[in-house]
A and B are shown apart, each in its own frame.
Chain A
Amino acid sequence: MEPSRHLPVTLSVNGSQYPILIEPRRTLLDALRHDLGLTGAKKVCDMGDCGACTVIVDGKAMYACLLLAVDCDDREITTIEGLATGNELDPVQEAFIRADAFQCGFCTSGQIMSLRALLDANPEPDDDQILRAVTGNLCRCGAYPNILKAGRLAADLQAQAASNGQ
């Protein structure tokens, strides 16, 4: 190892701080998967085509393969591992299971994060907004109709939970 080639960066992921020393060329995706051991975000195309690596950065769904980790110092990052509260699933996660919105599951983390970002910004999306939220997330198994159903169901589950909480 040549320390001179590495830079210090503190990643703020799922509410925890991770000070790490990495090469400047390392993507956020590789930093998450290799330095932090958070393997939920998947590497498929590694060039911003497929969305399997989608995470939420400062409230927006972003492709982790297109961000350099050193540029993410102190940005708020949420990954699929950060959605559930203990054993309780996020409504988007719950909806994906109920709607059978995946087969192999490899694109699923990215799909869920895109919809999570949508619902954070807009808790009452219409069907077109749901579709637009996942247009940047490919699914090779072709679970698309159920992914859209899951988006709708997630919005409903979230609204229900909100009204129950009031």
Chain B
Amino acid sequence: MPEIRVKPKQGENGTELELIEDEGVRAWAPDADLQIVGQPHPRLEGREKVTGRARYASDVRLPGQLYARVLRSPYPHARIVSVDIGKAEQAPGVRAVIHAGNVPRIPWYEEGVLFESTVRFVGDEIAAVAAESEEQAEDALRLIEVEYEPLPFVSTIEEALAPDAPWVHDDGNIAGEPKTYERGDPDAGLRDADVTIDAAYSTASALHNAFESHGCTTFWDGDSLTLWDSTQAIFVIREQVAEKLGLPEHRVRVVKHHMGGGFGAKQIAWKHDVIASLLSRQAGRPVQLMLDREAENLAAGNRNPTRQRVRLGARRDGTLTAIVADIHQASGAYRTGGEASNVSGTYQTLYNCPNVRTEQVAVYTNTGPAVAFRAPGHVEAAFALEQAMDELARTLEMDPVKLRRQNYSEVDQLEGKPFTLPEGLRLSYDRVADAFGWGAEKPPPSSESKRRGVGFAAHDWSGGTGHPPGYAWIELNADGTADVITGTQDIGTGTRTGLAQVAAEELGLPLDCIAFRLGDTATGPYSPVSSGSATQATIGPAVRAAAAEVKAQLLEVASSVLEVGADRLSVRAGRILVDGDEERSIAVSAVTEKIRPHTLQGRGARGPNPEDKTIRTFGAQCVELEVDIETGEIDRLRIAAAHDCGRIVNPTLVDSQVVGGITQGVGFALTEERTVDPRLGLVLNANLEEYHVPTVADAPAIEHARVGVPDSEANSTGAKGIGEPPLIPTAPAIANAVYDAIGIRFREGPLSRARVVAALAEQRAQGEGSRP
């Protein structure tokens, strides 16, 4: 039994207790001779996914299952005068209708309730219907009679901050306390600088558009509730749904075997989880409530738009003397608690700088609530800071990579602690510049109207570190196979496979002897939300600890079977090896069969992160592209990427994360922008027709220059996260390359064709105007 300590810590609600548990294993040495960890391996769930058998929340079919739809506000801001569900209740196939008038006032968001009497964005929930079919549920929605009193509204940060702006909430349009940070003397740093940059940037609201929408299938058995939910956090959903419905946690089971993408938007219980549960209880039947694409894009999260004024001061040699960022972010109509959007962080930590000030103000607008979107805050900040650094490099006539090297930090300047892998960012610079051919002569453009450019951007990310708590259980069966069980979830990143590789490595078993089970609160021990690129680094060490415990037992039994001291035994590739006596090696199953029907069981807990060092993930990307000065088209993208994610557990999976993240970064850079009509407050592109995610034809040529240096001080596996980082530097690297190509700085994103065409026209007009 490992030692457990209770340690007090300061939490948001005063003193909290932290349980510190020793993992009981030492980190694998950076050069450890590992057999399975570090090897490419296809995803374990591949067969299910290519045969259509993988079951997602929307694929659940239960006897008597009903289908639900939600009535949503057509106004960005309105008081609801009355709701009449009489006709809807009588409609064919309808089995339950709920609205504010017939359900408890369940608290929601900060001060709100499940069904608000004032709706605050187009898409806000008003009522819901469960019927025998989706079509009948939709028919019934049209029969619900709602009288609205439309109210004035604000759609943008500028409108929300105007002196006479209508208020989204009773206490105004500022959401929570501004977050301020200062070190050194930023004003003096700017004053004493040889060169300063002062520029305002803005980023658009991007829509996650995970292909599986939010939704769930719910089912009551007496007073026990089961939700098959499309979620990144089965235990968070269990806790939050139990609280909302007044149920004890053991009466709520949340299942998520597969999920069609989440990208950050599925880490909290949303209203539809409770709406489906209430409908199901009222109807006495299972209910499936999947959001349609429009609802998904209106009401289930978005990346917060930002306005960022950035000031940099530097000496002639490039040394930064000040970084100042004034940031506004739009939270939308409500603060969900799942935003995690720390736009300030990058300004505080990416570069060595003694004088830094950030102020981050969140603003309410009458638009859908914002929620974390793959590297929340950092993507937005990088778009601004990394362009400002490019502007600084050009002002100084300095190579942009050299400028970044000049301002390298080996310590976490917030805490004054060194990083666990202080060379992580430097290695990323080296590898990416090398792979890309940074500094090499640019090939000529492919046609006369094209201009070619190259750009660079770096990033850091506070996630990817992993953290306690997180647990795993392992049972070594009598035939020498193992069941590994955790309560984490695979959100499509390859969690099953990466964690199974850790288990197989430590157990000394081939990967096909491992069954990996996750995604069910009823079977797995607690695991936190899969967010912050944390899952491999959080659960990997817990799995390894559990495997180590089993292995110790196995070697103990083997010692009796072989009549050799356990200290001379090891296990590899399914065989027990005797040190110095190869011939006595026997199969693991030959040992475990001796104790049948007994099994060996281990339990592992994620231990604490180091106290005297900070874990972080870094990276950098180089972009080459062409801009057509006649059409404004940006194409022929070639992107090289290097990211420090510690030990690479499975290069296939890591490569795919890098390619996928960059592809989303290309979307954020060039096309992805929620468009809100300022007169009506309507989202004009809440679909995949007019909201443009990258297609196969838009996919850039990507080279992943793997860093792959184990971060052995970070955790016992040396692996860190890679899910979010690849998206962070893509957009600013593209914008910097566009500037390199055509000399136009795009401080407002995305660099849509319309913006590029308009800027080129302006450039031409100015050019003609300045001619003698």
Task: Name A's B-contacting residues (CB within 8 A).
Answer: 1-2, 23, 25-26, 30, 33-34, 37-47, 49-50, 52, 79-81, 83-84, 89, 93-94, 96-98, 100, 102-109, 112, 131, 134-135, 137-148
Residues B211 and A50 in contact, CB atoms below 8 Å apart: yes
Please judge, given known A-B contacts A105-B492, A140-B209, A143-B659, whether A39 and B696 are in contact too, CB under 8 Å. Answer: no
Considering the chains assembled together, what is the distance between the CA atoms of A93 and B92 in angstroms? 42
Residues B660 and A112 in contact, CB atoms below 8 Å apart: no
Considering the chains assembled together, what is the distance between the CA atoms of A83 and B49 in angstroms? 13
- Interface residue B292 (Cβ < 8 Å from any Cβ of A): yes
Q: Out of B51, B56, B93, which one reaches A84, CB within 8 Å?
A: B51
Q: Out of A26, A34, A38, A103, which one reaches B52, CB within 8 Å?
A: A38
Chain A at the B interface: SS class: loop
CB distance from A72 to the nearest CB of B (A): 17
Chain B at the A interface: SS class: loop
Residues A89 and B47 in contact, CB atoms below 8 Å apart: yes
Residues B293 and A89 in contact, CB atoms below 8 Å apart: no
Please judge, given known A-B contacts A44-B211, A105-B45, A145-B659, whether A23 and B50 are in contact too, CB under 8 Å. Answer: no
- Interface residue B588 (Cβ < 8 Å from any Cβ of A): no
Chain A, residue nearest B650 (CB): A100
Residues A93 and B133 in contact, CB atoms below 8 Å apart: no
Chain A, residue nearest B46 (CB): A97
Considering the chains assembled together, what is the distance between the CA atoms of A142 and B704 in angstroms? 14
Residues B688 and A49 in contact, CB atoms below 8 Å apart: yes
Chain B 27-59 per-residue mask, 1 if CB under 8 angstroms from chain A, else 0: 000000000000000110111111111111011
- 9-residue interface stretch from B255-263, B317-325, B457-465, B576-584: B255-263
CB distance from B146 to the nearest CB of A (A): 24
- Report the 5 A-B pairs with minimum CB-CB distance, sorted nearest first: A40-B52, A142-B663, A106-B260, A104-B492, A105-B49
- Interface residue B656 (Cβ < 8 Å from any Cβ of A): yes
- Interface residue B662 (Cβ < 8 Å from any Cβ of A): yes
Please judge, given known A-B contacts A100-B652, A140-B210, whether A47 and B687 are in contact too, CB under 8 Å. Answer: yes
Considering the chains assembled together, what is the distance between the CA atoms of A11 and B661 in angstroms? 40
Query: Please, which residues of chain B bring their CB within 8 A of the CB of A137?
Result: 696
Residues B687 and A49 in contact, CB atoms below 8 Å apart: yes
Considering the chains assembled together, what is the distance between the CA atoms of A73 and B696 in angstroms? 33
- Interface residue B702 (Cβ < 8 Å from any Cβ of A): yes
- Interface residue B212 (Cβ < 8 Å from any Cβ of A): yes
Considering the chains assembled together, what is the distance between the CA atoms of A83 and B688 in angstroms? 28
Considering the chains assembled together, what is the distance between the CA atoms of A146 and B663 in angstroms? 13
Residues A135 and B662 in contact, CB atoms below 8 Å apart: no
Residues A108 and B49 in contact, CB atoms below 8 Å apart: yes
- Interface residue B434 (Cβ < 8 Å from any Cβ of A): no
Q: Out of B93, B133, B492, which one reaches A141, CB within 8 Å?
A: B492
Query: Please, which residues of chain A bring their CB within 8 A of the CB of B770?
Result: none
- Interface residue B134 (Cβ < 8 Å from any Cβ of A): yes
Scan residues 672-696 of chain B and give those whose CB is less than 8 A from a CB of chain A: 687-689, 693-696
Residues B661 and A142 in contact, CB atoms below 8 Å apart: yes
CB distance from B253 to the nearest CB of A (A): 21
Query: Please, which residues of chain A bring their CB within 8 A of the CB of B47?
Result: 89, 97
Query: Please, which residues of chain A bring their CB within 8 A of the CB of B46?
Result: 96-97, 102
Please judge, given known A-B contacts A34-B133, A40-B53, A89-B50, whether A46 and B653 are in contact too, CB under 8 Å. Answer: no
- Interface residue B61 (Cβ < 8 Å from any Cβ of A): yes
Considering the chains assembled together, what is the distance between the CA atoms of A162 and B366 in angstroms? 60
Q: Out of A2, A138, A143, which one reaches B656, CB within 8 Å?
A: A143
Chain B 684-728 per-residue mask, 1 if CB under 8 angstroms from chain A, else 0: 000111000111110100100000000000000000000000000
CB distance from A162 to the nearest CB of B (A): 21
Residues B52 and A41 in contact, CB atoms below 8 Å apart: yes
Residues B49 and A102 in contact, CB atoms below 8 Å apart: yes
Query: Please, which residues of chain A bring their CB within 8 A of the CB of B593?
Result: none
Residues A39 and B134 in contact, CB atoms below 8 Å apart: no
CB distance from A15 to the nearest CB of B (A): 16
Considering the chains assembled together, what is the distance between the CA atoms of A135 and B212 in angstroms? 20
Considering the chains assembled together, what is the distance between the CA atoms of A39 and B60 in angstroms? 9
Q: Out of B133, B689, B696, which one reaches A139, CB within 8 Å?
A: B696
- Interface residue B491 (Cβ < 8 Å from any Cβ of A): yes
Residues B134 and A105 in contact, CB atoms below 8 Å apart: no
Considering the chains assembled together, what is the distance between the CA atoms of A134 and B694 in angstroms? 13
Chain A, residue nearest B132 (CB): A1
Residues B50 and A104 in contact, CB atoms below 8 Å apart: no
Scan residues 611-665 of chain B and give those whose CB is less than 8 A from a CB of chain A: 652-653, 655-657, 659-664
Considering the chains assembled together, what is the distance between the CA atoms of A140 and B727 in angstroms? 13
Chain B, residue nearest A108 (CB): B49
Residues A43 and B702 in contact, CB atoms below 8 Å apart: no
Residues A42 and B51 in contact, CB atoms below 8 Å apart: no
Please judge, given known A-B contacts A39-B58, A140-B209, whether A23 and B659 are in contact too, CB under 8 Å. Answer: no
Residues B50 and A97 in contact, CB atoms below 8 Å apart: yes
Please judge, given known A-B contacts A39-B61, A135-B697, whether A80 and B687 are in contact too, CB under 8 Å. Answer: no
Please judge, given known A-B contacts A39-B59, A108-B49, A147-B696, whether A97 and B688 are in contact too, CB under 8 Å. Answer: no
- Interface residue B512 (Cβ < 8 Å from any Cβ of A): no
Query: Please, which residues of chain B bring their CB within 8 A of the CB of A40?
Result: 51-53
Q: Out of B58, B211, B696, which one reaches A144, CB within 8 Å?
A: B696
Please judge, given known A-B contacts A100-B42, A104-B212, A104-B491, whether A80 and B260 are in contact too, CB under 8 Å. Answer: no
CB distance from B664 to the nearest CB of A (A): 6
Please judge, given known A-B contacts A40-B52, A83-B51, whether A104 and B696 are in contact too, CB under 8 Å. Answer: no
Q: Out of B58, B259, B688, B694, which one reaches A104, CB within 8 Å?
A: B259
Query: Please, which residues of chain A bring their CB within 8 A of the CB of B133?
Result: 23, 34
Considering the chains assembled together, what is the distance between the CA atoms of A89 and B663 in angstroms? 29
Residues B211 and A131 in contact, CB atoms below 8 Å apart: no
CB distance from A64 to the nearest CB of B (A): 13
Name 29 interchain pairs, CB-CB below 8 A, sorted by A.
Answer: A25-B135, A26-B135, A30-B134, A39-B58, A40-B53, A42-B260, A45-B688, A45-B689, A46-B293, A52-B211, A80-B51, A96-B50, A103-B494, A103-B660, A104-B211, A104-B212, A104-B491, A105-B45, A131-B696, A135-B697, A137-B696, A139-B211, A140-B664, A142-B662, A142-B663, A143-B656, A143-B660, A144-B696, A147-B696
